[in-house]
Structure 1
Amino acid sequence: MLRELTPNDVGALAEILGDPVVMEFSTNGPCTEDDTRKFIDWCLESYREHGFGQWGIADSSSGAIIGFCGLSQVDLNGVQEVEVAYRLARAAWNQGLASEAAAAALAYGFSQCHFDSVIAIIANRHIVSARVAEKVGMKIDTYTKYRDWDVGIYRKHLEVDLRIS
């Protein structure tokens, strides 16, 4: 379901990221095809530099890109954090795909990248996105401003199994 984005994904992803309804709660707003090309270039650079990034969400039957989800480094008020983010085409909403993708991205971040915690930056009015974060075990950490938006910072910490066998 999650795979690295490639330059071949620009058209499909631009259609999704250009949709004002999909991008209503994005601090970047709707994206042009050129914006999407730059986003994919940024993702490719992140894969090379960090071993993670935003991955494409591919439809399980057709393989078509229906969104993205992944991990990225973000400066949150002067503190470096790792953020999980997700965005889906409207046709893919309400199917549990965002939760499934976010859970996979978090599992990768904790098991492969050894992060102690991961955040999600969610506009206060974006109730659906907050539900996704909560579904994957994230809890509200604080409220703040981010890029002039009122947002909630959801956080999930690495769960360590301390049971003794």
Structure 2
Amino acid sequence: MYLTATNRLEIRKFESSDVKTLMPILSDPDVMEYSSKGPLSEAQTAEFIDWCTHSYDELGYGQWAVIEKPSGRLIGYCGLSRTTVDGCDEVEIGYRLAKDRWGMGLATDAARAALDYGFEACNLESVVAIVAQNHAASIHILEKLGFSNFIETRYAGWDVRLYRLTRSDWKPD
């Protein structure tokens, strides 16, 4: 069952059977270059999916499977998760796509759908984005989504930009 969709993508909850398909994406050092956890093993990918399913039950949102409509292929994840930044509880947008799907606007599409879900279905007041200061591609995606102001801080041992988008500033397409 799909939570939401765009013209090119379907977004659904992860299932335990997704481990084998997601693992090659999350074990790719290029995909995970800016992840505080680095590339994941198969067991770590299974733990990630388990964490996602608990988040759905507990919070009503989480990181979701991103499915490319034409091929039906799982190409990564995108969604919302709880995190703590500078001692404050936040809801963070996150995304990772297979390297062969970079540069096509798919991460922007998926993130827009996730933000829409967060602001509309979950009534979130704000969502943050945490991005490494030199991650130009992700910064570009965030700017296209309407994230504009940021502060610099430390997160998981990294120097990062912390962006915030409020429900009142959200402009879905």
TM-score scaled by structure 2? 0.90
Q: How many residues align?
A: 161
Amino acid across the alignment from 2:53: L
Q: 1:75 aligns with which of 63, 84, 102?
A: 84
Amino acid across the alignment from 1:3: R
In the alignment, does 2:155 pair up with 1:143? no
- Matches of 2:135 and 2:108, distance apart in 1: 15
| RMSD (CA atoms) | 1.2
- Matches of 1:38 and 1:113, distance apart in 2: 25
In the alignment, does 2:121 pair up with 1:112? yes
Q: What SS class does the counterpart of residue 23 from structure 1 fall into?
A: coil
Q: What SS class does the counterpart of residue 102 from structure 1 fall into?
A: helix
Deviation of residue 77 (structure 1)?
1.8
Identical-pair percentage: 46
In structure 1, list runs of 5 or more residues that go unmatched. Answer: none
In the alignment, does 2:95 pair up with 1:100? no
Is 1:140–1:152's contact at 8 Å kept on the other side of the alignment?
Answer: no
- Matches of 1:139 and 1:159, distance apart in 2: 14
Deviation of residue 160 (structure 1)?
6.8
- Residues 44/62 of structure 1: CA separation in 2 closer, same or farther (3 Å cut): same
Amino acid across the alignment from 2:84: D
Q: What SS class does the counterpart of residue 82 from structure 2 fall into?
A: strand
1:110-141 deviation digits (Å, cap 9, x = unpaired)? 00111111001000110100111111111232
Deviation of residue 62 (structure 1)?
2.1
In the alignment, does 2:39 pair up with 1:30? yes
Amino acid across the alignment from 1:142: I
Q: What SS class does the counterpart of residue 96 from structure 2 fall into?
A: strand
Q: What SS class does the counterpart of residue 80 from structure 1 fall into?
A: strand
Amino acid across the alignment from 2:62: G
- Matches of 2:100 and 2:146, distance apart in 1: 25
Match of 2:4 in 1: none
1:56-84 deviation digits (Å, cap 9, x = unpaired)? 10011122110000000101121000000
Amino acid across the alignment from 2:166: H
Match of 2:64 in 1: 55
- Point out 4+ residue stretches in structure 1 off by more than 3 angstroms: none
1:24-77 deviation digits (Å, cap 9, x = unpaired)? 111110000000000000000000111100001001112211000000010112
TM-score scaled by structure 1? 0.95
- Residues 142/160 of structure 1: CA separation in 2 closer, same or farther (3 Å cut): closer
Q: What SS class does the counterpart of residue 8 from structure 1 fall into?
A: helix
In the alignment, does 2:133 pair up with 1:124? yes
Amino acid across the alignment from 1:59: E
Match of 2:7 in 1: none
